[in-house]
């Protein structure tokens, strides 16, 4: 599956992270992940799912069954944010959400009922 290896590298590039970082995010041994990215080994299905989920993409994309390349620069930034945020512990994630939402909602005179984080 050379396509899988290519997509793996392509995805890491989209996210602006190294393969080693992608490995860490996925909770996989760095050498092991590198074997996937270099088309020397193939993961089992559970690992494939874990990678797709962690990198915020689909198995179909990683297997070349769809070509949904994210070319938009802003979209990729948002994806990087999603991937990074997903690896945070609950409390840090909650904090980040609060802060970014504060940034996003510039000035509403009366902040209405908002779901507490």
In three-state secondary structure terms, 115 is coil
Which residue of 3, 27, 38, 97 would you call a contact of DNA, by CB under 7 A?
Answer: 38
Q: Which listed option, a copy of itself, DNA, none, makes contact with residue 16 (CB within 5 to 8 Å by class)?
A: a copy of itself
User: Does residue 88 belong to the site contacting a copy of itself (CB under 8 A)?
Assistant: yes
* Near DNA in 46-85, by CB under 7 A: 47
Sign of the CA dihedral 82, 85, 90, 91?
A: negative
Q: How far is the CB of 46 from DNA (least distance, A)?
A: 9
Nearer to a copy of itself, 40 or 104 (CB): 104
44-71: b (≥16 Cβ within 10 Å) or e: eeebbebbbebbbbeeebbeeeeeeebe
User: Does residue 41 belong to the site contacting DNA (CB under 7 A)?
Assistant: yes
User: Does residue 37 belong to the site contacting a copy of itself (CB under 8 A)?
Assistant: no
- How many angstroms separate the CA atoms of 100 and 109, rounded? 18
State CA 10 to chain mean position distance.
12
Name residue, tokens 């070349």: 64
User: Does residue 38 belong to the site contacting a copy of itself (CB under 8 A)?
Assistant: no
Instruction: Tell me which residues touch DNA (CB under 7 A).
Output: 18-21, 28-32, 34-35, 37-38, 40-44, 47, 107-114, 116
């Amino acid at each position: 599956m050379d396509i899988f290896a290519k997509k793996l590298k392509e995805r890491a590039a989209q996210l602006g992270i190294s393969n080693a970082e992608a490995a860490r995010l996925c909770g996989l041994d760095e050498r092991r992940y590198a074997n996937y990215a270099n088309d020397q080994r193939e993961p089992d299905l559970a690992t494939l799912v874990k990678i797709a989920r962690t990198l915020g993409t689909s198995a179909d994309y990683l297997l070349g069954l769809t070509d949904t390349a994210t070319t938009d620069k802003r979209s990729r930034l948002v994806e990087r944010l999603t991937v990074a945020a997903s690896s945070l512990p609950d409390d840090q994630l909650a904090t980040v959400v609060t802060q970014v939402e504060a940034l996003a909602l510039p000035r509403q005179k009366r902040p209405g009922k908002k779901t507490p984080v």
